[in-house]
Amino acid sequence: MSVLDTIVEVLVSSTSTDIIAYVLIILSILGAIAALLQKDLIRATIIVGAESVALALIFHILLAPDLALTQAVVGTALLPGVIIIAIYKTRRTEED
Amino acid sequence: MSPLQFWAYLLAASLCAIGIAGMLFFDNIIKKVIGFTLLSDGVNVMLTATGYLERGIVPIVLPGETTAEFAARAGLVFPIGIVLTNIVIGVSTTALMLALTMKLYRKYGTLSSSKILREVR
Amino acid sequence: MADMWEAARGLGNIPLIPVLVLIPLVMAVVLNLLYKRDKASRISAIVAATAILFLIPMIGYGYHWFAGQPILGYPASPLQYSLSLEYVFLAPQQIMVLTLALMFFVTVLSATGEVERRPGPYLGILMLNFMATAIVLLVNDMYHLWIAVEIASLAAVGLAAATGEPVAHNTGLKYLFIGGFCVALLATIVSLLVGYTGVSNLTDMGMVLSKKLVDPTSPVMYVAFGLSVLVWAYAGGLIPVHPIKSELYRVSMPHAAGFLQTQSKFMIVGIGVIMLRLFGPTGVNLPYSRAIMLAIGVGTMIFGVTMAIVQDDYRRLLAYHAISQGGYVATGIALGTELGIMGGAFHAINHVVYKTALFLGCGAVLYRTKTASLKEMGGLLREMPIEAFLLLCAKFAISGIPPLNGFQSKVRLMEAAMEAGMPEVTIIMLLVSVTTFVSMFKAFYLIFLQPKPKSLVGKELPKVPMGTRVGMIILVFLCFLLGFFPELATDYLAPLTKELGRPWV
């Protein structure tokens, strides 16, 4: 069971902020896959917005707090805002 | 390479792969735009992870710190500059793509890329 | 050994160099504010283009660094790192930026004549295109290079989609997707190279790589080279990414297509020179690096002209010829020998001159007949004799007929291929030249000499705008000038070739 051993060893030797980073990384990947599989486009945009928050926290743990601020503002308010305006003017659900 | 940097590179690679797959395999134009956003995010994480130093400090000089000890322990600053520009450029490109999409929707009435991005003679 | 870019640091910090980039940026904002006033925006755009043209000979040679850092030397090392973001302005940059500014001036003249409603924002986007291309030619660090390629891809879409037709929006959206992908690749290349070598300035990176301070056989170098070949192909319109570029030239207004192809050629030269500095014999010397670039160049020549000869849409014909001549430039730069780089850069300068003349002529013909299909044109010789003569000179230039400028650069390219020991490439260049001649004169016959079709008989056609006519006269005069006196350009390009040219192995 060397995979479990390495996982335990990594978790034990890392600080608590690193463990938050690992959880956020896994959530980001799952969120990215989920955002593309949605049929309702507004839901997909909201998932992208939530994932931008996770990415902002990851940027902070990777020693870049100014990126965390920029990504939090842009990825949560500006980018989903622009996409939602476009969805509002076109159509909300994906066609078959 | 510390484990956190390794997993950050893996996150970057996964986001890039998912973004490119989104741009290629999905029919709806908004899904392609979301794929482009994910690709851009992946590239940003890759750039930031390049500047990470294990048990390092944030590259902002605090008052009372000398240059030598700052240079020895701080993370790289240059990737932060690139990523800031990249985030803003990503928003601008997405806005331009969506403006063109809205114009095309007004003419064709559909958002499916196989109908509106086909070859025009 | 101090190379040309390091020696530029001895020449001093010139504050006038960023003014070349600041004038178009400020004018783009001003023209957007003036969007309701047509006459004011036209006049201010022409004034800005003339100001840039007169500024370039006044800038002395040197460099300009941002962030005001002094040159550092690490204590235990004999190497001098610069660690700065800088622009370098020496003789080769001067002649290339001067040609670019001249094409920009001619395009602004033509655009003020042909765009009737709201020319302000359109001229602003043209300014942004000029700014992006000028940065690629002047740059000496990876950050500014990436910014410039990004702005160029966005502004090119703005220029093409300004026609307002749905096919232009369609092609613009496709170009944005491909462009976004390739620019993300460029950001990855920046991350790989900066992370691996530790410096961002291109001179420092070349020094680190050539002195083997990092392991040169690492896979990071191979991946970075492969991705940069794709970015070079996208920015310049080479295979395998050429269809999107040719479609972009086709859907835009002809004078805009003329400026877009100028942008592509100078990007081939700029990015190609940077790839030679990093991955070629003066850098890390990756095996087969120049061979891969050469394959792309030769393939583009052949693909472009074979697609061009079967077209009956005049704009598509010119677009595919632009792609094919881009292959000549890429072949010259990829050969990497002294004569090769000279041939490639000189051919880029010549090509933008005669190709812009051809596109302006296409714009004039389109303005009069309102159709681009060659089957529906004919008999225009009696109505536009001046434009017909100027187009004839430009078509002789593109086919490489002496004494025009196309001949001078093609002769240098063919000599370079023979000297590198590859007569096959010379034969391919000759065949492509002959096919270009055939295709261009087929178009000339169909537009001017064949009997007039019924749809055009008896119609009163609008006059060609004065700006287009003046632009074409300037460009054809330059064709003759560079044809008779090629030293005007080659003397300026010589330092670049002596710096980077190494024999082909």
Residue ranges of domains in chain A: 2-89
- Measured between CB atoms, does B46 come within 8 Å of chain C? yes
pLDDT of residue C78: 54
Residue ranges of domains in chain B: 3-116
CB burial of residue C463 (10 Å; 0-12, 13-18, 19+)? exposed
pLDDT band of C218, cuts 50, 70, 90: confident
* Interface-testing mutation among B9, B43, B106, with chain C (most C C-beta atoms within 10 A): B43
Indicate yes or no: CB of A67 within 8 angstroms of CB of B58. no
Q: Report, at the CATH architecture level, how domain B3-116 is classified.
A: Orthogonal Bundle (1.10)
Higher local confidence (pLDDT), A2 or C146: C146
Gyration radius of chain A over CA positions: 17
Residue of B nearest to A19 (CA): B4
Which region, left, alpha or beta, applies to residue C415 given φ > 0 means left and ψ of -120 to 50 means alpha? alpha
Question: Does residue C201 contact residue C8 with C-beta atoms inside 8 Å?
Answer: no
pLDDT band of B119, cuts 50, 70, 90: low
What is the nearest CA distance from C222 to chain B, expressed in angstroms?
A: 18
Average pLDDT, chain B: 87
pLDDT band of C76, cuts 50, 70, 90: very low
pLDDT exceeds cutoff 90 at C216: no
The mean per-residue pLDDT over the stretch C25-45 comes to 89
The mean per-residue pLDDT over the stretch C451-477 comes to 81
pLDDT of residue C375: 73
The whole-angstrom separation of Cα A18 and Cα A25 is 10
The whole-angstrom separation of Cα C157 and Cα C148 is 14
Q: Which residues contact A44 (CB under 8 A, 6 or more apart)?
A: A35, A36, A38, B30, B31, B34
Of B104-118, C30-44, C153-167, where does mean pLDDT reach its minimum?
A: B104-118
Of B88-102, C4-18, C216-230, where does mean pLDDT reach its minimum?
A: C4-18
pLDDT exceeds cutoff 90 at C74: no
Chain B hits for C150, Cβ within 8 Å: 89
Of the candidates B70, B38, B88, B77, the one whose C-alpha atom is nearest the C-alpha of residue A65 is B77
pLDDT of residue C27: 93
Indicate yes or no: CB of B85 within 8 angstroms of CB of C200. no
pLDDT of residue C64: 83
pLDDT exceeds cutoff 60 at C75: no
Percent above pLDDT 90 for chain B = 51
pLDDT of residue B53: 84
- C-beta neighbour count of C495 within 10 angstroms: 16
ipTM of the complex in this document: 0.93
Average pLDDT, chain C: 88
pLDDT band of C77, cuts 50, 70, 90: low
What is the nearest CA distance from C429 to chain B, expressed in angstroms?
A: 30
pLDDT of residue C22: 92
pLDDT of residue C2: 53
Question: Please, where are the H alpha helices in C34-81?
Answer: 38-55
pLDDT exceeds cutoff 90 at C95: yes
pLDDT exceeds cutoff 80 at C52: yes
Indicate yes or no: CB of C169 within 8 angstroms of CB of B46. no
Helix (H) or strand (E) holding C80: strand C80-81
CB pairs under 8 A between A and B: 141
pLDDT band of C164, cuts 50, 70, 90: confident
Residue of B nearest to C373 (CA): B121
Chain C hits for B30, Cβ within 8 Å: none
Indicate yes or no: CB of A63 within 8 angstroms of CB of B59. yes
> Model confidence over C295-326: pLDDT tens digits?
999 999 999 999 999 988 889 999 999 999 99
pLDDT exceeds cutoff 50 at C1: no
**C-alpha torsion sign, points B105, B108, B112, B114:** negative
**C-alpha torsion sign, points C241, C437, C461, C122:** positive
Gyration radius of chain B over CA positions: 20
Chain C hits for B116, Cβ within 8 Å: 170
The mean per-residue pLDDT over the stretch C37-41 comes to 87
> Model confidence over B46-96: pLDDT tens digits?
999 988 888 788 888 777 777 777 777 788 888 888 999 999 999 999 999
pLDDT of residue B68: 72
According to the per-residue pLDDT averaged within each range, which of B60-69, C89-98, C382-391 is highest? C89-98
The mean per-residue pLDDT over the stretch C471-488 comes to 92
> Model confidence over C169-207: pLDDT tens digits?
999 999 999 999 999 999 999 989 988 888 888 888 888
pLDDT exceeds cutoff 50 at C495: yes
Indicate yes or no: CB of C184 within 8 angstroms of CB of B100. no
The whole-angstrom separation of Cα C34 and Cα C106 is 22
Q: Which residues contact C164 (CB under 8 A, 6 or more apart)?
A: none
Residue of A nearest to B107 (CA): A90
Higher local confidence (pLDDT), C438 or C12: C438
pLDDT band of C73, cuts 50, 70, 90: low
Chain C hits for B42, Cβ within 8 Å: 184
What is the nearest CA distance from B117 to chain A, expressed in angstroms?
A: 16
Higher local confidence (pLDDT), C62 or C91: C91
Residue of C nearest to B98 (CA): C173
Chain A hits for B18, Cβ within 8 Å: 29, 32-33, 36
